[in-house]
Amino acid sequence: MKKFLALLLTAMLLLGSVAMAEETAAGLTKNLVVLFTSDVHAGIDQGWGYAGLAAIRDGLAVNNHVVLVDNGDSIQGETIGTMTDGKALVELMNVVGYDIAVPGNHEYDYGMDNFLMLANEVAQFPYISANFTYQGEPVFAPYVIKEFDGVKVAFVGITTPKTITSSTPTYFQDANGEYVYGFCQDETGASLYYVVQNAVDNARAEGAQYVIALGHLGNEIDCEPYTSIDVIYNTNGIDAFLDGHAHETNSGNAVKNKDGKEVVRVACGTKLENIGALTITPEGDITSDLYSWTGSVSPVEMFGLTGPVVDAVAEKVASLDEIRQKVVARTEVKLHIYDPIATDVRIIRNTETNLGDLCADAYRAMSGADVAFVNGGGIRAEIPAGDITLDQIYSVHPFGNVMCMVEVSGQQILDALEWGSRNVPNELGGFLQVSGLTYEIHTYIASSAVSDENGMFAGVDGEYRVKNVMVGGEPLDLTKTYKLASHNYMLKSAGDGYAMFKGAKLLIDETLIDNQVLITYITTELGGVVGEAYSEPYGQGRIIGVPEAPAAE
């Protein structure tokens, strides 16, 4: 069975790989395969699942050197992560046998102390990051060197500097609100490029013949100047870049570095739907591919897999199964984060959706606020029509943020809408789903929202692209005081860069957890059923895009 499985998995490698030859002859006696995962988001039994991943690794290890690495965001995203503060995921990674991991932005979602405990006391593999610092000093080793047949291969870890705003900003501050943790963030990206280059140069100086970057950076416009492509453009000495963060599926493309040399760049998507594979041959060729899972049942069921990983995953799932499957409500309509037509296009981060309306309405109803905001990046999963389980609610709101309400001015509301709309039509985790107001986004006007060096809102230095804001059917009054509900992440910790709310007067300070807000709204205010009021996938017309300037009168 194992031999058959190994042959089958090898045959499933996708075509379209990128191959590059090294000038220096390698000393390898057999292929080195770097298997990598990224953005697993606690999807331990989705796609290949950890059991399928282990089977791939074991099959390849028969005739190859194999290294297994993770590029971040593994411990958050499903109920099992939320209910164990990520610990169950790290314990499973130990069983699978990971060799190296890089912290993604969501590794910090359960608090700094929790993550450092997991990294230092639970993980049986090293976390690495060249740019994660405490008071300017590295928290983890910037790279790890492994040796195969006398050939040294360096793995350099890189964490997105956007982590400060895409996790909870206060986790990176001391008791006085000063940032003590950082990710080498600045407006130009120069600090990031410097520390990465320094790590690469030091690894080369230690004799590394190959340097593989393990990045949680992504390729999204919102992540510039910190994308994987930015780093490749501004450095040299990296042979391949294994990327995460954007949930991109890319079997390999060539990107030129600072010296004009092509670097292979690969990304494997999310939830173990693909396993990335980078191969270095004895001849020095570097190729990249993906193992993609398209089966209608799990690999465990299809191949009859057994072993410690299968048992460990089953044990973790079983321990939560009863509470996960508890039915708490019902919906008569599908609740969307993806486009109902282009079903692989996520729209919750640039467009109103019915699930966005529902989540925002829940905050407004449970708080009694005039207006409620929910960041699109905090709404993580769709809900199909039918029974709603607790697991589905946890999947929608996996972060454990807590409801707050503050007193703000109309100007602060306008600034927040402008800040959240600055990337439209492109995605932004901080895009605002709203309740209690309507607004237009005039996308023909370039955003003039300004951020500081930490990615926080610092003002608007031009025309607002957000216009015609109406609160409760009345025009927004910039001088009036309103009650605004959201969660501690945004209102107290300036999550997603919403610094305009720092210091706002708290009217409600951390009451219901976000998923409890949603459950309570559905069960008490809606009678346990999400009905026809939320039937339109694109929402109730609260957010209107205006792509062209009105004709002159």
Instruction: Identify the CATH number of the domain in which residue 130 sits.
Output: 3.60.21.10
Count the neighbouring beta carbons within 10 Å of the beta carbon of residue 450: 14
**Dist. CA 55–CA 36, nearest whole Å:** 14
Say yes or no: 35 and 71 in one domain. Answer: yes
Residue located via tokens 């410690």: 308
Say yes or no: 92 and 63 in one domain. Answer: yes
**Dist. CA 169–CA 186, nearest whole Å:** 16
Residue 139 lies in a domain: yes
Pairing between β-strand 19-21 and β-strand 285-292 as defined by DSSP bridges: antiparallel
Say yes or no: 196 and 53 in one domain. Answer: yes
Nearest to residue 167, comparing CAs of 106, 112, 244? 106
**Dist. CA 127–CA 66, nearest whole Å:** 18
Work out the widest C-alpha separation in the chain, in whole angstroms: 76
**Dist. CA 52–CA 294, nearest whole Å:** 12
Nearest to residue 72, comparing CAs of 131, 135, 145, 10? 131
**Dist. CA 360–CA 553, nearest whole Å:** 37
Say yes or no: 300 and 166 in one domain. Answer: yes
Q: What is the pLDDT of residue 438?
A: 98
Say yes or no: 347 and 256 in one domain. Answer: no
Say yes or no: 439 and 516 in one domain. Answer: yes
Encoded tokens for 121: 């006391």
**Dist. CA 525–CA 305, nearest whole Å:** 46
Say yes or no: 296 and 388 in one domain. Answer: no
**3-class SS letters over 29-94:** CCCEEEEEECCCCCCCCCCCHHHHHHHHHHHHCCCCEEEEEECCCCCCCCHHHHHHCCHHHHHHHH
Residue 95 lies in a domain: yes
Strand partners, 13: 291
Pairing between β-strand 327-331 and β-strand 386-389 as defined by DSSP bridges: antiparallel
φ, ψ for residue 318, nearest 5 deg? -65, -35
8-state DSSP, 274: E
Rounded alpha-carbon distances, angstroms, from residue 277 to 287, 409, 484: 8, 52, 47
Say yes or no: 381 and 526 in one domain. Answer: yes
- Annotate 200-254 with DSSP letters as a single string: HHHHHHTT-SEEEEEEE----GGGTTSSHHHHHHT--S--EEEEESS--EEEEEE
Strand partners, 513: 402
Residue 178 lies in a domain: yes
Say yes or no: 299 and 336 in one domain. Answer: no
Type of residue found at 117? M
Nearest to residue 179, comparing CAs of 158, 164, 191, 162? 164
Encoded tokens for 507: 């009217």
Q: What is the pLDDT of residue 533?
A: 97
Nearest to residue 119, comparing CAs of 86, 146, 148, 147? 86
Residue 551 lies in a domain: no
Residue 393 lies in a domain: yes
Residue 244 lies in a domain: yes
The number of folded domains in the chain is 2
Encoded tokens for 515: 């998923």
Residue 154 lies in a domain: yes
Encoded tokens for 355: 């699930």
Residue 89 lies in a domain: yes
Nearest to residue 530, comparing CAs of 351, 390, 384, 399? 384
Say yes or no: 294 and 368 in one domain. Answer: no
**Of 276, 298, 318, the domain-final residue:** 318
Strand partners, 256: 262
Say yes or no: 290 and 433 in one domain. Answer: no
Omega before residue 225 within 30° of 0, cis: yes
Q: What is the pLDDT of residue 19?
A: 52
**Dist. CA 375–CA 487, nearest whole Å:** 10
Say yes or no: 178 and 314 in one domain. Answer: yes
Q: What is the pLDDT along the chain (553 residues), one digit of tens a residue?
A: 344 344 445 444 433 345 554 444 449 999 999 999 999 999 999 999 999 999 999 999 999 999 999 999 999 888 788 888 899 999 999 999 999 999 999 999 888 999 999 999 999 999 999 999 999 999 999 999 999 999 999 999 999 999 987 777 888 999 998 999 999 999 999 999 999 999 999 999 999 999 999 999 999 888 899 999 999 999 999 999 999 999 999 999 999 999 999 999 999 999 999 999 999 999 999 999 999 999 889 999 999 999 999 999 999 988 887 778 889 999 999 999 999 998 889 999 999 999 999 999 999 999 999 999 999 999 999 999 999 999 999 999 988 898 999 999 999 999 999 999 999 999 999 999 999 999 999 999 999 999 999 999 999 999 999 999 999 999 999 999 999 999 999 999 999 999 999 999 999 888 888 998 999 999 999 999 999 999 999 999 999 999 988 876 5
**Dist. CA 287–CA 104, nearest whole Å:** 25
| 449 three-state secondary structure | strand
Nearest to residue 351, comparing CAs of 376, 378, 317? 376
524 exposed, middle or buried (CB, 10 Å; 0-12, 13-18, 19+)? exposed
pTM of the predicted model as reported, rounded to 2 decimal places: 0.76
**Of 318, 336, 363, the domain-final residue:** 318
Residue located via tokens 């697991």: 391
**Of 318, 337, 361, the domain-final residue:** 318
Nearest to residue 443, comparing CAs of 423, 458, 420? 423
CATH number of the domain that residue 487 is part of: 3.90.780.10
Which residues contact residue 466 at a Cβ distance below 8 angstroms, ignoring those fewer than 6 apart? 414, 417, 418, 421, 439, 440, 441, 442
Structural domain containing residue 272: 2-318
